């Protein structure tokens, strides 16, 4: 027994036992940001978009195979919808959201986030999107045009692969802190827009809607954003 221990007495707590609950500080550095917003009064906008997207599919039945599965009935449009006047109202919404992000993140005022590509996807029942990223841009986004019940949630995966190598044990049947999640899912809601880092892996679960006909289709418009010099 040391002199220190003798002087404290056997029942007196050591330094570690005297730490208060607020002694431990935590700082969440290097976060992964996902922005979301609800477009107000989106019903009329969505009705116009649905008509335009189905018309586009009629013009190009083959579409573009990307993360979707055409053999399951999924359709992916060309990637220049932002240049079509039919989509100008949605483009304006994306531009306004992008400007808010620039202010929030402190981006240089001489630059703006500009749409580089924009496309639509129709996923009928059974349609799915495999995990993927969007190279060549900074941010990517999705706008939900039509989202029937059980039409497939988007899932984002923790980009820090080391967190997946040695899973941590948590208290069972309790909600773990958000900073400890390894994946997050968003329910598709018509009129909702999500914007996320283009390097963040994401996928879409199968559409299991039981609605009839075209009402069962999950319809989205996606886009990529890059920083461009303001004119």
Q: Is 142 helix (H, G, I), strand (E, B) or coil?
A: strand
- pLDDT at position 7 is 53
User: How much of the chain exceeds pLDDT 70, in percent?
Assistant: 93
pLDDT band at 8 (very low <50, low <70, confident <90, very high): low
Q: Is 85 helix (H, G, I), strand (E, B) or coil?
A: helix
Q: What pLDDT digit, counting tens, does each position of 82-132 carry?
A: 999 999 999 999 999 999 999 999 999 999 999 999 999 999 999 999 999
HEC readout, 62-108: CCCCCCCCHHHCCEECCCEHHHCHHHHHHHHHHHHHHHHHHHHHCCC
pTM, entire model = 0.90
- pLDDT at position 160 is 87
Rounded distance between C-alpha atoms, residue 148 and residue 190, angstroms: 8
Which sign, positive or negative, has the C-alpha torsion 71, 55, 154, 126? Answer: negative
Which sign, positive or negative, has the C-alpha torsion 224, 227, 229, 231? Answer: positive
Q: Do residues 75 and 121 make contact, with C-beta atoms less than 8 angstroms apart?
A: yes
Residue-averaged pLDDT of the chain: 92
Q: Which domains does the chain have, with CATH numbers?
A: 38-160+196-231 (2.60.120.620)
User: How much of the chain exceeds pLDDT 90, in percent?
Assistant: 82
Q: What pLDDT digit, counting tens, does each position of 127-177 carry?
A: 999 999 999 999 999 999 999 999 999 999 999 888 778 878 999 999 999
Q: Does residue 215 surpass a pLDDT of 60?
A: yes
């Amino acid at each position: 027994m040391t002199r220190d221990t003798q002087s404290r007495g056997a029942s007196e707590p050591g330094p570690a036992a005297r730490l208060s609950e607020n002694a431990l500080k935590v700082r969440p550095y290097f976060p992964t940001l996902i922005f979301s917003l609800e477009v107000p009064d989106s019903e009329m906008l969505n009705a116009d978009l649905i008509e335009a997207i189905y018309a586009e599919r009629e013009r190009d039945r083959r579409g573009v195979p990307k993360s979707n599965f055409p053999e399951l009935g999924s359709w992916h449009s060309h990637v220049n919808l932002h240049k079509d006047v039919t989509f100008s109202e949605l483009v304006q919404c994306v531009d306004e959201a992008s400007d808010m992000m620039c202010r929030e993140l402190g981006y240089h005022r001489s630059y703006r986030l500009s749409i580089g590509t924009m496309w639509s996807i129709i996923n009928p029942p059974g349609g799915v999107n495999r995990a993927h990223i969007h190279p060549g841009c900074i941010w990517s986004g999705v706008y939900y045009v039509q989202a029937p019940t059980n039409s497939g949630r988007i899932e984002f995966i923790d980009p820090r692969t080391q967190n997946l190598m040695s899973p941590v044990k948590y208290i069972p049947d309790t909600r773990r802190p958000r900073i400890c999640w390894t994946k997050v899912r968003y329910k598709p809601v018509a009129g909702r827009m999500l914007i996320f880092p283009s390097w963040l892996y994401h996928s879409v679960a199968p559409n299991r809607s039981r609605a009839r006909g075209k009402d069962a289709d999950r319809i989205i418009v996606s886009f990529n954003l890059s920083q461009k010099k303001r004119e």
